Amino acid sequence: METIAVPFEADAVDRVKKAAAEAGLPLHEFIATAAERVADEQEALSAVSIPEEEASMARAMADIEAGQLVPHDEVFAKLDAKHGW
Q: Is the pLDDT of residue 34 over 90?
A: yes
- In tens, the pLDDT along 51-84 reads 888 898 999 999 999 999 988 999 999 999 999 8
In our burial notation (b when 16+ CB lie closer than 10 A, e otherwise), range 51-66 reads eeeeeeeeeeeeeeee
pTM of the complete model: 0.53
Q: How far is CA 54 from CA 35, 49, 58, in A?
A: 30, 9, 6
Cα dist from 14 to 11, 18, 21, 85, whole Å: 5, 6, 11, 40
Which of 22-26, 44-48, 51-55, 66-70 has maximum average pLDDT? 22-26
What is the average pLDDT value for the chain, to the nearest integer? 91
* pLDDT number for residue 47: 73
